[in-house]
Each structure stands twice: as C-alpha cells, then as structure tokens.
Amino acid sequence: MQKNATQTYENPGRLSIEDAVYLYEKAPFFELLRSADEKRKAMLPNNEVTYLVDRNINYTNACTINCQFCSFYRPPGHPEVYTQTIDQISQRVSELEMVGGTRILMQGGVNPDLPIEWYVRILNELRARHPKVALDCFSPIEIEGISNVTKITTIEVLKILKNAGMTGLPGGGAEMLVDEVRSDVSPIKGSSNNWLRIMEEAQNLGLTTSATNVIGFGESLHQRIEHLNKIRDLQERSLRLGNVGFTSFIAWPVQLENNSFGKRNRGNNRRDMGAGAVEYLRHIAISRLFLDNIPHIQASWPTMGLEVAQLGLSAGADDIGSTMMEENVVSASGTKKTSAAEEELRDAIIKAGFIPRKRDSDYNLI
C-alpha cells in the first residue's frame, strides 16, 4: 500500500494497523480528509448530520481512581465531595423533558460509599418518573467499581441495573486502550481488557453502547491505532453474534487547561500533551477510514468548539453530538462552552453544508 499512495488515499479498503499509521503520518491533510469524507458518503449516502437533545448528569464527584488528567473528581472524604439525591437528578431530567430531550447520560466517579441498592433505587425512580427518557448510565469503570464494592461479577451488575431501567452504557473511561499509556496516566484504573470485556457484556445484554478515545497523552501514532483496532475487533465479534455493538465512536484531545498534569504525573512536566485542531481532524479522518464496521463518527464540539466540529463533518464525522445542557468533567479542565441549544447545533450543521436531523440514543431519527 505504501508504494501506491494515490490508490491508498482514494480507495484505502480495510486498513491494517500499519496502513493506518502510514496514512496518519504521511497522507496530505486535505487528501486524507477528502478520503474520509468519501468513506462516510459511501456508508451514509445522504447529506444528513444527526444530533441529540440530551443532558449530562454527573451524579457524584467522589472517586478513588485518581486519573492524572482529571480535574473533576474529589477523593472520598474531601470537603467538596457531593452525591446528588434522586429529587435533584429527577429535576434535571424534568428540565430536559421540557426542551424535548430524549436521553440522559449519567456518569460520576467510582464512589465506594454507594451500594448497588443506591443505583437500583435511582434507576427505578427515574424509570417511573420519566418513562420516555433513555437512561444511559455508568461507564465500564463505574460498573467495575460497583462490582468491586458488591463482590458480584460485572455481568451480574449489568443485569441488575438493566432490570432496574438502565438502557445503555456510556463509553467513558476508555481514554487509551493501550495499557502502557493507560497505566501511566491512570495507574489505578482497570486494564483495557476490563473495559472491553464489560462493553462486550453490555452489548450481549442488548444495552446501547458507544466507543470513545482520548488522545494527547504523549502516545505514539501506533498506540492510537492500537486503540482503534481493539474497538474494531470487539465490533467484529459483536456483529457476528447479531448484536448492534457500538453505535458510534467519539474522540477528543485531553483537556489540560486547569490541570497541572506534570505535578500529578510523577513530576514530569511533559510538553507533548494535548492535540490541536489539525491533529484532531486527522484523527477523525483516520477513525472513519479504520473503523469501517462502526456506523457513526461523532465530532466533539465541547472540547474542540463548534467551528472545528463543523470541519469534522467534512472529515468523516456524520454526527455533531448533543446539547448536553450541563457538563462538569470537561468543564473542570478548562473548557468554557459545554452546552448548546438545539437551534445552535442545527444552525452549525446547516452552515457546514448538511441537513440537520434529530435522533435518539440509538440513532433512530425523530
């Protein structure tokens, strides 16, 4: 493939890890984006870009994982620790319903003080009070934490929470599914295999799942593609079993504005952290070309801004994400704008040259 670069950009076919690394490093920027755009059009031949009206709810900030890049969490016992009540959470869902929202994305920290009965009670109440809202709750890392607290398996935790009303599992906590990188920035967090296993369990149970990726930890291009390859391999297994698998893939650069990463990462003040707009767009394009079995690629406007997200729609992305209404994890790291009105997203899509279409959590058009 490397001997015929023109053929590579125009018709890459299924990329190997080596092919993807080569394109990531060598392909001319605009040719790479155009190739990804053509791939997107082949998979989704209409000119539509979807968006979701939802709300992020960070129900607790207590966490024992101590990710080196996270400015949101507080260790248990810290004076700023909080856990929201069911009425507080329900009020936020009611506010979402008032603007036509259809999903909450509820995530928090790994809080050792919450028994599984707390999660069951919250889900039961939310399902009773808000029967039409999808409840995509608790990342694989949180599921692993609940399993450790309760001493039951992660698959049993997932079954219990699904029976209580949970409809999906957010893709948070993946960051970089390469343990050499993962153990450096999140030494307490579970291995990449744990994240993948829990996602596979969730897919086997019919829960809605998405895959995520955070870049800019100083990882190599090869390690970035390793992450994508693990996502693609899991998707292959899920599809072979007749499961939906991952509905989408979302990537963004690590946010470090308010995070003294060097001080929290064993004193190393690294200068190769983060990723700019051009690098992010290259990553979106490579993701679309490499993840040929995942139907949707989302552009991350909360971390990159709406203007860069608009460019991402011509680099392989077909979804501009969600309104969010509130967001506390990314904003804690310094991002200023973390919510958008529905009309704002529609306007951004139209100005980028596409037709806006509202969707639900499963990418059904509304």
User: Which CATH number fits the domain that encloses residue 260?
Assistant: 3.20.20.70
Predicted TM-score of the model (pTM): 0.88
User: For the chain, what is the domain count?
Assistant: 1
Q: Which residues of the chain have pLDDT under 50?
A: 1-8, 258-271, 329-334
User: Is 35 part of any domain?
Assistant: no
pLDDT of 11 reads 57
Give me the helices (H) in the chain, please.
5-10, 17-26, 29-43, 86-98, 116-129, 140-150, 154-164, 179-185, 192-204, 221-240, 261-264, 277-290, 301-304, 306-312, 329-332, 342-351
Do the beta carbons of residue 339 and residue 264 sit within 8 Å? Answer: no
Whether residue 31 is contained in a domain is answered as no
Question: Is the residue at 9 inside a domain?
Answer: no
Residue 1 falls inside a structural domain: no
User: Is 6 among the domain residues?
Assistant: no
Q: Would you say residue 227 lies in a domain? A: yes
Q: What is the pLDDT of residue 138?
A: 94
Q: Is residue 7 part of a domain?
A: no
Structural domain range at position 153:
45-359
* Domain presence at residue 330: yes
